[in-house]
Structure 1
């Protein structure tokens, strides 16, 4: 557990962020930013609960809404959830802004991570799904510090000398691309299993890394599968699950991936190890 900050800085320990980092993050209008599957479903459905079958996981609920109201509705609604309200950066992002890790995996769909790195040059990789022109399920951007804007580049242009922000589930910025419904996840995971979720340079770079899972819900099948594909070749790492008893699926994932669970909330961890 020693030298966590040093390991984050040199890239040997990679932060892997989930929705849980938004727990207790309240927008200026008093509304809660989604921090788990249930709150995401309520946000997508104008505050209304859905049937128990659909409430199991937000990707399933989003698929139902997409079938009824269309793909564009889900894209615009997801963008609205994270772009229409002002909110302070959650403590996790404030903490990372002081460290500026070399590589961050962020499965959240807002632009908090981009704000953290807006004062340094970096690469941004966002996930994309259900395209027919190519197998690759990512778009690469390079951030121009002088212009304060992103420019899309070819994958050959990605280098390892600048920080890399990887947002596999997409983002509100610089373009609205979201992996949010079942159809999105099925497509993304299918191509991920074929090796098309990450640029080649990143596949090499991620080898033998440890991961610090912050706010990731491993009780849900989808995000265990996403984490498994992104961290292939991992050396181990840390999960933060502050609960008395892990589910069988959580426990199996942790043991299979040689992880150590700390019974701490994300904010308690930051207070202890910042």
Structure 2
């Protein structure tokens, strides 16, 4: 690797750092940025009822249709092939099928839902985080990225209240907690950014922040981000993380497994000033939830 990560010297130091972040989290000074890897926190031996990684989603697509070699193993390219040769309605139906089984919230989801956080970013398509917010009786609503491909709308996102009804953007100002799902979600309305075509316009505009809701921009201001269950081994994932965290607080952290990081992931973390915390995700979750 051409760049080196500055990791805490010992496991104890990493745990102490995360304990400090847990305190900041409780004070609303840190925004949790959740990735698909939170499925690791399911009960030992339990399999996620929905695809738990982009690669697993690509495998799901491969089980539904014959894919060209270039698309195999890549969820976005697989989705584009399906959209191009079997229509958007087929892709949307298969995405809904992939995520139709409820994913139960973990103890970490429930802990975060009970903190009254101003902003939670959830980058996967399942409904675990929204289920946790509902279970905790939180005052919340969400905003989801939407596909503009073929919808004939000049919008980048939609807002939903806690009951799943679509509402206007002004409603978000009154929510204690805003759940932001930049790639959409299976619930409540099957909004999916998944194919290459979905991202064409978004990636053209995202550098000037147009696809990011104003309320997200407001609530990220002066706050750091804590990446949990996230990988950055794909350019799309790195781009979104970079743009969602733009113009936020000066310090960010990520719970990582340094043994699996790619060169591009290391480069991304270093270039973005993200402090890596080398702890198993389950141990990190226990510390954050105060169960350690």
Per the TM alignment, residue 59 of structure 1 is displaced from its structure 2 partner at its CA by 0.6
Change (3 A) 1:51 1:124: same
Match of 1:214 in 2: 228
Q: Distance in 1 between matches of 2:97 and 2:260?
A: 35
Quote the offset at 1:114 in angstroms: 1.2
Partner of 1:255: 270
Aligned counterpart, 2:127: 111
Deviations 1:106-163 (A, max 9, x none): 01112111111111221210111214431x31111222xxxxx233222233216511
**1:225 is the counterpart of 2:225:** no
Aligned counterpart, 2:279: 264
Of residues 124, 127, 131, the one that matches 2:145 is: 127
Change (3 A) 1:110 1:99: same
Bigger relative CO (Cα 8 Å, ≥ 6 apart): 2
Larger mean Cα displacement after TM superposition, 202-211 or 94-103: 94-103
Residues 1:75 and 2:95 aligned together: no
TM-fit CA distance, 1:47: 7.1
Question: Closer, same or farther in 2 for the Cα pair 1:3/1:160, shift >3 Å?
Answer: farther
Change beyond 3 A, Cα 1:161–1:171: closer
Aligned residue number for residue 146 of structure 1: none
Looking at structure 2, the residues matched to 239 and 207 of structure 1 have their Cα atoms a distance apart, in angstroms, of 19
8 Å contact kept, 1:37–1:57: yes
Instruction: Work out whether 1:157 is the aligned partner of 2:176.
Output: no
Equivalent of 2:256 in 204, 216, 241: 241
C-alpha distance 47-260 of structure 1, shift in aligned 2 (>3 A): farther
Give the Cα–Cα distance (whole angstroms) in 2 for the partners of residues 8 and 14 of structure 1: 7
Q: 2 CA distance for matches of 1:5 and 1:267? A: 14
1:40 and 2:57 are equivalent in the alignment: yes
Supply the distance in 2 between the matched residues of 1:248 and 1:49 (Cα, whole angstroms): 31
Count of aligned residue pairs for this structure pair: 266
Q: Pairwise CA RMSD of aligned residues?
A: 2.6
Please give the alpha-carbon distance, in whole angstroms, between the structure 2 residues aligned to 1:200 and 1:60: 30
TM-score, scaled to structure 1: 0.86
Cross-structure match for 1:66: 83
Q: Indicate if the aligned counterparts of 2:229 and 2:255 stay in contact, CA closer than 8 A.
A: yes
1:141 aligned residue (148, 154, 160): 160
Does structure 2 retain, via aligned residues, the 8 Å contact 1:137–1:191? no
Name 2:70's counterpart in structure 1. Answer: 53
Question: Taking structure 1 as reference, are residues 44 and 245 closer, same or farther at Cα in structure 2, changes over 3 Å only?
Answer: closer
More deviation in 175-184 or 202-211? Answer: 202-211
- CA deviation vs aligned residue, 1:48-76 (integer Å, no higher than 9, x gap): 88555213521111111221211111111
Decide whether the 8 Å contact of 2:120 with 2:180 is kept in 1.
Answer: yes
Structure 1 gap ranges (5+): 144-148
Gaps of 5+ in 2: 1-16
Please, what TM-score do these two structures have when normalized by structure 2? 0.81
Rounded to whole Å, the distance in 2 between the matches of 1:211 and 1:49 is: 39
